[in-house]
Amino acid sequence: FSKKESRLYMSFMYVTFVSLLIGGLMGLLQTLARAGEFQLPFGINYYTILTVHGVILGLVLTTFFIVGFQFALLGKTVGLSDKQRQWAWIAFWTMLVGTVMAAITILVGQANVLYTFYAPLRAHVAFYIGLALVIVGSWIAVFVNFRQLYVWKKANPGQKSPLLAFMVTINMAMWFIASLGVAASVLIQFIPWSLGYAATINVLLSRTLFWYFGHPLVYFWLLPAYMAWYAIIPKIIGGKLFSDSLARLSFILLLMFSIPVGFHHQLTEPGIDPTWKFIQVVLTFMVVVPTLMTAFSIFATFETTGRRKGHKGLFGWFKYLPWKDVRFLAPFIGMVAFIPGGAGGIVNASHQVNTLVHNTIWVTGHFHLTVATTVLLTYFGIAYWLVPHLTGRRLTPKLNRLGIIQTIIWTVGMTIMSTAMHIQGLLGGPRRSNFSNYAGGEQVDTWISYQIAQAVGGTILFIGILLMIYIFIQLAYFAPKGVQEFPIAEEEEDAEPTPKILENWYLWIGITIALILFAYTIPVFDILKHSPPGSIPFDWPIGR
Ligand code: HAS
């Protein structure tokens, strides 16, 4: 990369790691407060901390990392012109200004609305305007990305696009279609309501529009991890891409089935016809298919590579994977965490069982395995080579060792914390609540030991965060100068040619839109027709 390009991509990384530190600290405070061992100082509201934690880690860290990483992938595979770079900077600054605006509003206690922020919780209008700016900034990034691929296609007529460029385009198409829902809610519902122009707000509509966005959001986080699993890890282990067609097909399926499934977050929601909930649950189970295809493909790559290197026996190839290379180990632990994380997701999505776990801390356990382990450890695995590649430095053996220690600390901390969350959830422990004895209910006594285990896990995780920040600073400023590889796997020589239809964007985006219209049109009409506009007045106190 040129210096100018590297600076652009690194700016996204700086925001990512600053967010990690702030958000992680809030997480630590939460686990301590919930365990009843610690009173938040200066009268700080528990929900302020919880909102900062969710927004900074779930929305800011992820979006900045993803947009920056995807720009780097496209820069490497299809190129970035000077004009596109200028637009990319505009995207960055718009997102950053929005983030700072929203963050200040939360920190001064004017937006205790959690990262899901749907009504009836109400925030100061600055929070919603900040969010709108983040979305607009990300849309600018979407169109720069589309343009990058378009320009490459024009210059290389008839050629299939590079796999990583194709994957980024799918993820950005999904993000764009999904974020239309939340943008509509912010612009049409929240901003007028918080300014007092709208007397009331339709709560059910705001929740539905949020979850229309909220589920694809989790796949927006996951797909960059899949990009690394499919196209980068094979190179790190000295192998090749197992199947270009299979990788593309699984991304297309993820695009189609990630969006029309938001009702699985609203299974206990009155006001939505159970038939539509059932339909969206079926579509949710469809989204498991491309994930299982991914698991198959990764294992096939591991085995083929090992056997080609001459490792014999049933599991010889497994033994000789590069366990001492943190660029492999961190994402690998992420993959393993996805087995219980994904299984928990299937439990959540099973309509009746959802009644048992909904709004309990089981759900928090689920997403700490999926996003905070599977996804985050893969992002860390990427940062170990991307950051030195951008700063012209090297991941030294010492930093690699520290990375391995970081991965182990994370694994131990998260195993303790998320296991305790899952069990406490099954015992009825609520999510999103500060320490309380709930007027001394008998069941409450069974929760406290799990709360303490979460505080122990949370403390270990915070140590892991400090170590990660240290490694990042080393890789950005102090590691020895050198060349760090940007690993992109090639396809197997004897691979079947990728069918052209997989790049037929009109077809796949057309099917995606048709599925969305099918899953949402009638329920949204029902919501508008039957549910009262909502009785939450515009002068409803902020944060309630
Ligand atoms: Fe989820 C709630 C259902 C995946 C994140 N989820 C959440 C929330 C978040 C979240 C943040 O149906 C909370 C939202 C809130 O604040 O209220 N989730 C699913 C399902 C999946 C799923 C069916 N979730 C994710 C991913 C996330 C994520 C991924 C983040 C990145 N989730 C739900 C539901 C709820 C929910 C309900 C609402 C609950 C409620 O009531 O509130 C599926 O996509 C999971 C499919 C995955 C698998 C696992 C396959 C395994 C693989 C590993 C390969 C391993 C290898 C190595 C190769 C079936 C791919 C093996 C090595 C060896 C040595 C063996």
Report CA(534)–ligand 1 centroid distance (Å): 32
Q: Indicate the range of 41-45, 214-218, 405-409, 474-478 predicted with least confidence.
A: 41-45
Q: What percent of the chain has pLDDT over 90?
A: 81
| Radius of gyration, CA atoms only, the chain | 23
Of the candidates 202, 368, 216, 189, the residue with the CA atom closest to the CA atom of residue 287: 216
CA distance 465 to 410: 8
Any idea how long the chain is? 544
Segment 191-204 mean pLDDT:
88
Burial 422-449 (b: 16+ CB within 10 A, else e): bbbbeebbebbeebeeeeeeeeeeebbe
Most confident residue range from 282-296, 440-454, 527-541 = 282-296
Tell me: pLDDT of 540 over 80: no
Tens of pLDDT, residues 285-295:
999 999 999 99
Predicted confidence (pLDDT) at residue 82 exceeds the cutoff of 60: yes
> If phi over 0 gives left and psi between -120 and 50 gives alpha, with beta otherwise, what is residue 483?
beta
Q: Which residues line ligand 1 (CB under 6 A)?
A: 116, 218, 221-222, 264-265, 284, 287-288, 291, 294-295, 298-299, 335-336, 338-339, 342, 345-346, 348-349, 354, 358, 363, 366-367, 370-371, 375
Atom of ligand 1 nearest to the CA of 364: 13
**Residue 308: is its pLDDT beyond 70?**
yes
Residue 494's pLDDT is what?
A: 79
Tens of pLDDT along 217-249? 999 999 999 999 999 999 999 999 989 999 999
Distance 171 CA to ligand 1 centre (A): 17
Best residue for ligand 1 mutational test, from 367, 376, 378, 379 (most atoms within 8 Å of Cβ): 367
Q: pLDDT (tens digit, 9 = 90+) per residue, 387-432?
A: 999 999 999 999 999 999 999 999 999 999 999 999 999 999 999 8
Domain at 3-491+507-530: CATH code: 1.20.210.10
Which atom of ligand 1 has the smallest separation from the CA of 222? 31
Residue 539 — pLDDT band, cuts 50, 70, 90?
low
Mean pLDDT, the chain, integer: 93
Among 38-42, 51-55, 104-108, which stretch is predicted with the lowest mean pLDDT? Answer: 38-42
3-state secondary structure of 360: strand
